Chains A and B, each alone.
Chain A
Amino acid sequence: DTAVSQTPKYLVTQMGNDKSIKCEQNLGHDTMYWYKQDSKKFLKIMFSYNNKELIINETVPNRFSPKSPDKAHLNLHINSLELGDSAVYFCASSQESLALETQYFGPGTRLLVL
């Protein structure tokens, strides 16, 4: 059984387009995250949600908007895509958010903006 799943796995699009990435976890965790990994493998947190509420927003452009319809899902919508948005985006979940808990990562979505 897949613990954290993301769709799509690959996303190739033109500058200026709007796109969404979906994430689902079946671990029963309360907290979900979005990370961005650049070409040098630097993994940086973007957002964190706990029980559908935003608790971390790490200076991400407001073109990025996360949405959590329920605690098992955290989607990421990106408006007006730019070349610099090309990266791998990982969804993750953990049991709690009050401390650094073990993060369970999805397989990633490889976004290429042309």
Chain B
Amino acid sequence: ENQVEHSPHFLGPQQGDVASMSCTYSVSRFNNLQWYRQNTGMGPKHLLSMYSAGYEKQKGRLNATLLKNGSSLYITAVQPEDSATYFCASGGSYIPTFGRGTSLIVHP
């Protein structure tokens, strides 16, 4: 069975800190890994995609790295508006598999 696991489940940095989270995946056929962000009461929104181990991507204050069987996401200088749940998703056998996410709450 395809699985995606997140660590940590909850994160509570102070405004201006760096938030660090990661996920590991076990999928039968890897195609790419994606990060999504979900604000309360809304649907997930795609942040970025990565395609092979060693791949790094920066998007604004987001920095992501794809490792073998996992990924790390860093958010620099976190702001209260970054508070959300962050999901990692991977495609095994073309079936999108999501983890339970990391809930980020930024304290002012």
Contact = CB atoms under 8 A, between A and B. Distances in A.
Interface string B39-75: 0011111100100000000000000000000000000
A98 B42 contact: no
A48 B97 CA distance: 13
Given A90-B43, A108-B42, A100 B31 contact: yes
B32 interface: yes
Interface residues of B, number: 26
Given A41-B85, A99-B91, A100-B89, A105 B32 contact: no
A99 B90 CA distance: 10
**Which of B34, B91, B95 has the most CB atoms of chain A within a 10 A radius of its CB?**
B95
Interface of A: 4, 33, 35, 40-45, 48, 56, 58, 90, 92, 97-100, 102-108
A-B residue pairs, 3 tightest by C-beta: A100-B91, A105-B43, A43-B98
